[in-house]
Chain A
């Protein structure tokens, strides 16, 4: 078995008896031990727990149990996901040592489908960041060039999959936190429609935007994971009714209208990114799609709107970290208020503080209408604009990130440059649309070859359409099979 096989292929080998789950997990743990010092994807590895789980799965298979869709597959979690009894510190000092007292619905569903949670991965603190550099505990390096970022905030999740340590990882995507790292690391990632996957047990950043989103080495794997973890959850009042839609299988794209929104191809878009995306669109056209330009003028306001709404919700969601019931506590001056403010001052990193302050400001009396109120109205207009566009086209396409992976440190001290990394991913988040990023080739940057991501957006609820086209694209391309040059691999070879 090769480390870069996708989950579907690995599962088939397990079911064919070529390997036991236990030996698969043992080899996964070995590879993490060898590769991760170079990549830095993992925050914690559940070695004993996952080996025990693997043995249990092997027994169940011998006893004739029906293997689930994720049977035996190692699965990396982001550090903002709850698995009872394991740490979920969200990359933040303020939650260091906090162990989840319950298991998230989507984690439980993955386990029920046979997955083996193998560990947690590094992330920007509370999922706020686009490079992984806002973590309190470790910054993952891009397997394609370890001097570069993996993107963020699901940085470790993307790095773990891209470096062949695990076939599957779960990330969370609020404004692009799965799609952008997937693009920058050369793997597949999908933010489903808002509400498709229960958020219960995903530590909230911005509740109206957060979605649990898988990362994998193929679109068919994304489909496999979403089918297992998606669907209505009575414990998440915002979850969409019904199960995750069944896969859509296509032999070509005849009859499909593909829209190219002008704002997705702005001036200043990296020419290599532009070229790879153009090539991908040509291929989709060759497969039968009719390509049309689409005007989405409200997209010009998407980034500003996103940063108002996301920070507003974050300022409220993060109020609970005040040293009272759980998490870290600093005594301060001995008063209750002093304890709370000292705990927060010391526990949160700079970017989290910046966003809490922004969010507090946009909700303040006297400023609410001008900021939060207006942003909510623009958000509604943007959703309307998308809905209107989807009356004429079936799918939208564009790049996922305006540039390939940037150097670590390059944007770390320029918050606005960092925020602009999300400019092509926040629109789908604001409108709750399903959006996938799949590899569409490599960009030559200096001496390095860096992955480029193609983003596909569908109407809200049409997750199966996005996945179906992504899968067809991968049936006709090999971009998703490209392997990064890793020192650890060379050492072994």
Chain B
């Protein structure tokens, strides 16, 4: 694949003729039950230092054993991103001293990563190439701002991560955010990770450089501590401006690592290249080579679901949904799966409306996200049943909303609730005619307006009819009946 030609960025436009080049390193915690090298729970939010054991606290004599489930999720992520999985990958030791790193080294795949290649398409159609994906363990968490002492929590130490490294194929903060959103969506769909930036299960570092078009890459700066997509965008914007500013003034850009400061929304230097650690990587002698066989590849390949972009395309092309609805319905895999199950049983567009509007409102009332759709306890087949009742004219829309709510509350079927509540729509002409005659009494002026061609005035008559019917009268039949009666009256 050839590197793509960059479109101009906002910053570049302001400070032409520079263009920005970005590469992303995304760390993503794998949704395993246990940690990468021990049986401690991989769980967020437990009291400090409760999910720990001799292995993840590096007690002398302890040894790591690779969690096969983490390897499998890594393989699944690689396959979902179109990467080539290495049949043999190897763990190395990355040596450095810090209080949140109990062994004094991080076990990470360095020389022989889990996968290489792969890519991710942006909406523009351009593919962002991936360089590699590797498995590694997370460090613990050090807290420095609670009193004079540093506090260390090792619950996170040893949590499995994959690091996804892109090629420098991104050219703006907007592209970087799109890439991140798309990556997050895919990893969530594949069940690889929660990808919750607030909980730190998705973290990203960005390498930023700027250059004049056609030039080779210039010095890059690594940005860290980007804990939201918004902050990532702000940091990138700020860094592009800073580098362009330096070049314009004739100064060099120094290779360094910079931290994003949430308060000032600016980056500040953390360490320069001279201060970089010499990590002294060497093969981890406590672990054999990780082997990915055909069986594992096939099993994990089968677990990669249809991805959101493909589903959206299908919803638009085959179901005739709008881009907006397709986006809403694919915002979580559970929601999309739910929708698809119901849509197979009733009119797809109608199902889409019911899921995207009514079910999501019910979830919102419960303060639950879209992926919690199953928690409503409403079988997709039952929703389809309700939609069929509405489409056949047997149930009015507002009555159907009431029924839907009751279905969720009671677990009863639509048909049972309609019967129980007497909510069936009345289309019987004789019954409706009775209500209409009552409504027409003393409304001669309205009748005159309608007959004079002001058809909208009929609303003043429809309302009372609906009211008299308890909302059950079929509005279309009401309208037809009213018009017929008015014309009959004049004719007589």
Contact = CB atoms under 8 A, between A and B. Distances in A.
11 contacts: A90-B60, A102-B62, A237-B66, A315-B95, A316-B95, A316-B104, A319-B95, A319-B97, A324-B102, A325-B102, A325-B154
Interface in A174-230: 199-204, 206-208
A364 interface: yes
B56 to A, nearest CB: 10
A145 to B, nearest CB: 34
Interface in B235-289: 278, 280-282, 285-288
Contacts of B287: 237-238
B60 A207 contact: no
Interface stretch (A52-60, A93-101, A479-487): A93-101
A228 to B, nearest CB: 19
Instruction: Summarize B's interface: helix, strand, loop or mixed.
Output: loop
A6 interface: no
Which of B64, B95, B150, B286 has most A Cβ within 10 Å? B286
A337 B277 CA distance: 14
Interface string A88-131: 10100001001011101000000000000000000000000000
Contact of B65 (A201, A234, A360): A234
B63 A235 contact: yes
A95 B278 CA distance: 27
A203 B60 contact: yes
A90 B63 CA distance: 17
Shortest Cβ-Cβ A-B pairs, 10 listed? A319-B104, A363-B280, A208-B285, A207-B285, A203-B60, A201-B61, A320-B58, A203-B61, A82-B61, A320-B104
A357 interface: no
Nearest to A337: B97
Given A316-B95, A320-B102, 15 more contacts: A82-B60, A100-B60, A102-B54, A200-B61, A200-B63, A202-B61, A207-B285, A237-B64, A312-B282, A313-B282, A319-B104, A325-B57, A325-B154, A336-B99, A368-B282
Interface string A74-91: 000000111000001010
B66 A324 contact: no
Interface string B87-119: 000000101010100111100000000000000
B59 interface: yes
Contacts of B57: 325-326
Contacts of A236: 63, 65
A379 to B, nearest CB: 12
Nearest to A359: B280
A132 B102 CA distance: 29
Interface in B51-91: 54, 57-66
Interface string B292-303: 000000000000
Contact of A316 (B61, B99, B280, B288): B280
Contacts of B288: 237-238
A320 B60 contact: yes
Nearest to B99: A324
A372 B64 CA distance: 23
Contacts of A95: 60
Contacts of A90: 60
Contacts of A207: 285-286
A342 to B, nearest CB: 13
B286 A237 contact: yes
Contacts of A101: 54, 59
Nearest to B38: A235
A322 interface: yes
B97 A340 contact: yes
Nearest to A323: B99
Contacts of B93: 316
Contacts of B280: 315-316, 360, 363-365, 368
A237 B65 contact: yes
Given A90-B60, A101-B54, A237-B287, A320 B103 contact: yes
A312 B60 CA distance: 18
Interface in B289-334: none
B152 interface: yes
Chain B CB within 10 A, most for which of A100, A319, A322, A360: A319
Interface string B431-465: 00000000000000000000000000000000000
A340 B102 CA distance: 12
A1 B54 CA distance: 42
A336 B66 CA distance: 31
Interface in A327-374: 336-337, 340, 360, 363-365, 368, 372
A101 B58 CA distance: 11
A336 B150 CA distance: 8
A415 to B, nearest CB: 22
A230 B88 CA distance: 28
Interface string B132-152: 000000000000000000101
B139 to A, nearest CB: 12
A322 B152 CA distance: 14
Nearest to B95: A316
Interface in B220-246: none
Contacts of B103: 319-320
B63 A199 contact: yes
Please indicate which of the listed interface residues B57, B60, B63, B102 has the most CB atoms of chain A within 10 Å of its own CB.
B60
A238 B286 contact: yes
A322 B60 contact: no
Contacts of B54: 101-102
Contact of B285 (A82, A238, A324, A326): A238
Contacts of A313: 282, 285
Contact of B63 (A81, A98, A237): A237
Contacts of A319: 95, 97, 103-105
Contacts of A368: 280, 282
B236 to A, nearest CB: 29
Contacts of B104: 316, 318-320, 322
A204 B214 CA distance: 53
B59 A102 contact: yes
A238 B57 CA distance: 20
A312 B93 CA distance: 11
